[in-house]
């Protein structure tokens, strides 16, 4: 494996290879969103042997209003740090590096789960809403946006205190930051409006700045970015290139490229590396490392995508979800 086995340095963090286990929800935390032994064992099993360069843990909610689902992990309060530290210890087995992913679900949240009314960039129902009779979310005020920006920063600092090697801001798969970026869900008329890419990613840039201030310059900060909606009227690959240049200028160390408002799949795409058209374009536009995930089942497929310069690192998701020993079985060191 000429490319996959090469080390790479992100900010001050050196990974022993280019293989990433991307964030995948397990619903293994306690009902209160706390660490559980089952969650720890899940990550420990996959980190064993140090075959994975980087594990990015499942999305953790930064506030009760931003909780996406039952069984989701919390990073919303300081009392979470003790349990998160246990998760880090499990995931750092045999030198594997681990980042925390932090998230707010926006209109993808449900009052049945959070006990609170969902809030979003605009009072627009989520395109993937399963409940046709549900009310649209409340539009966030600028003061509420500022509060959410600070919640991201607080969560990032908790990740650092818990011992994570870095933090990833979740801005894809139809969650809150993605809702601001996509013209499908952003109907605002203020400085966060969909009138320009700069406006659509204004909240991203504010979150990046606040997170960087909280964790310092030497701590790796990544962004998972749903850069293209692959549907009429949605965000485009050209938009994603412009946005990622802004993220790089703002101080992002790593770009994790994935899907937009319609999730982590591309309709009718069966070729490994679903988003390689977008990741390749972004990689040519920026100088920071880029991760590509989506439908990759073998080390040979990952190697070919690296050889094509589709990305700098490759995420293998469902294959590792199903088989804890996938990395050991597929990589030859």
**Tens digit of pLDDT for each residue in 91-102?**
999 999 999 999
Distance in angstroms (rounded) separating the CA atoms of residues 278 and 258 = 9
**Tens digit of pLDDT for each residue in 263-299?**
776 767 678 888 999 999 999 999 999 999 999 999 9
pTM higher than 0.85 for the full model?
Answer: yes
Residue 66: CB atoms within 10 A of its CB come to 29
Residue 2, pLDDT score: 87
End-to-end Cα, the chain, rounded Å:
8
Residue numbers in the chain where pLDDT is lower than 70: 130-133, 265, 267, 269, 332-333
Active site residues: 175
Q: Where are the domains of the chain?
A: 8-330
Distance in angstroms (rounded) separating the CA atoms of residues 143 and 141 = 5
Distance in angstroms (rounded) separating the CA atoms of residues 280 and 310 = 4
Residue 73: CB atoms within 10 A of its CB come to 29
Distance in angstroms (rounded) separating the CA atoms of residues 144 and 137 = 14
State the architecture of 8-330 in CATH terms: Alpha-Beta Barrel (3.20)
Residue 131, pLDDT score: 67
Residue 132, pLDDT score: 61
């Amino acid at each position: 494996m000429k490319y996959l086995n090469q080390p790479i340095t992100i900010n001050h963090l050196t990974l022993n290879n280019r293989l990433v286990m991307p964030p995948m929800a397990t619903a293994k935390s306690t009902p209160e969103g706390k660490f559980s032994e089952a969650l720890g064992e899940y990550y420990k099993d996959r980190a064993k042997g140090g075959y994975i360069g980087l594990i990015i843990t499942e999305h953790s909610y930064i506030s009760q209003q931003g909780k996406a689902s039952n069984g989701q992990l919390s990073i919303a309060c300081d009392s979470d740090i003790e349990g998160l530290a246990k998760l880090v210890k499990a995931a750092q087995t045999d030198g594997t590096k681990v980042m925390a992913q932090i998230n707010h679900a926006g209109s993808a949240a449900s009052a049945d789960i959070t006990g609170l009314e969902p809030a979003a960039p605009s009072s627009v129902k989520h395109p993937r809403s399963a409940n046709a009779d549900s009310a649209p979310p409340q539009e966030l005020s600028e003061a509420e946006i500022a509060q959410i920006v600070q919640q991201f920063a607080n969560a990032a600092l908790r990740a650092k205190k818990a011992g994570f090697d870095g933090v990833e801001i979740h801005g894809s798969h139809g969650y809150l930051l993605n809702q601001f970026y996509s013209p499908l869900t952003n109907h605002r008329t203020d400085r966060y409006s969909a009138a320009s890419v700069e406006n659509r990613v204004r909240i991203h840039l504010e979150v990046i700045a606040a997170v960087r201030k909280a964790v310092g310059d030497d701590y790796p900060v990544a962004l998972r970015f749903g850069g293209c909606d692959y549907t009429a009227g949605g965000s485009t690959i050209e938009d994603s290139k412009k946005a990622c240049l802004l993220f790089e200028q703002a101080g992002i160390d790593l770009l994790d490229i994935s899907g937009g408002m319609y999730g982590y799949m591309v309709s009718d795409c069966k070729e490994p590396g679903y988003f390689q058209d977008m990741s390749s374009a972004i990689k040519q536009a920026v100088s920071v490392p880029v991760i590509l995930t989506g439908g990759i089942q073998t080390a040979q497929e990952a190697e070919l995508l690296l050889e094509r310069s589709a990305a700098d690192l490759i995420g293998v998701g469902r294959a590792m979800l199903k088989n804890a020993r996938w990395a050991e079985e597929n990589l030859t060191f």
